[in-house]
Structure 1
């Protein structure tokens, strides 16, 4: 399966903003990322609806057209964890930018913009940039199926060494 690996996606779960209350006055939220058969999660943060995770999760990318699902839950000790909303985001644009020739691009340069639409969960415009030799995208996702909440993420594309006989298209 390594032959199909296109790269790694580092997803920094930065923070949650105005998340829903699921316990008496607060929540103990954590984030789950799903892509295909991969499932990763952050640690739970106690008693917070505006928390800073600043936690990095890494997904192996074989097909950049598969959307990444994000779910937020309230950690409970004696009962099932309560859902606190979900969102979905695409990485195809980020992948396409990573495959272009970025030689000579100034640091911090915006290469592509994504705007909120009915087809995505973006809370605001999201820029794909060239930062310190890496393709980076910061985005804020508006949670669905819940009364309030947003999750801020930072995506970083990581190329992997190619197998013999294959080459990166530039």
Structure 2
């Protein structure tokens, strides 16, 4: 516990215009990896615009590690097909948390992160103060595939007894 900073809740909202890997559609699910941790969402059958609305929670000890997100098409008789991947950095999110902001009006934008060649952002990502919490919304453009994006949201969970931020 002493190495743990806290927990990062990743709300995997939805996929947008994902690649077709079966005859007419795909059966997508998302795998999130950070260091040795690996989490995955449920499969949404026959949908290239799936809504997962699932929370995956990672333990954060080293905020310098990137978070990798991969989308796969679930197959029954063969290996699952990869439908693209993305990587994102939580350092700007952690920096916003360290500001110890309190009492801001809900909806206040703390930081804006522009899409660049180095990140997988499809559009500007804002770190926002919402109802007493720091939240980051992202649209990630999938790499190594012809098309597709994943929408997600980051939220921090403090743990009593952890080293904190």
Q: Please, what TM-score do these two structures have when normalized by structure 2?
A: 0.97
What residue ranges of structure 1 are gaps of 5+ in the alignment?
none
In 1: Cα distance, 2:110 partner to 2:134 partner:
9
CA distance in 2, matches of 1:101, 1:156: 14
Residue of structure 1 equivalent to 2:116: 117
Cα pair 1:94 1:157 within 8 Å, conserved: no
Higher relative contact order (CA 8 A, sep 6+): 2
Equivalent residue number for residue 140 of structure 1: 139
Q: Which runs of 4+ in 1 moved over 4 A?
A: none
Runs of 5+ consecutive residues of structure 2 not aligned to the other structure: none
Partner residue, 2:61:
62
8 A contact 2:107–2:128 mirrored in 1: yes
Cα distance between partner residues in 2 of 1:99 and 1:22:
42
**Number of residues paired by the alignment?**
165
TM superposition shift of 1:162:
3.4
Question: Is the 1:11–1:58 contact (alpha carbons within 8 Å) kept by the matching residues of 2?
Answer: yes
Where does residue 156 of structure 2 map in the other structure? 157
Task: State the distance in 1 between where 2:41 and 2:25 align.
Answer: 18
Matches within 5 A, 1:1-150: 2-150=1-149
Matched residue SS, 1:4: coil
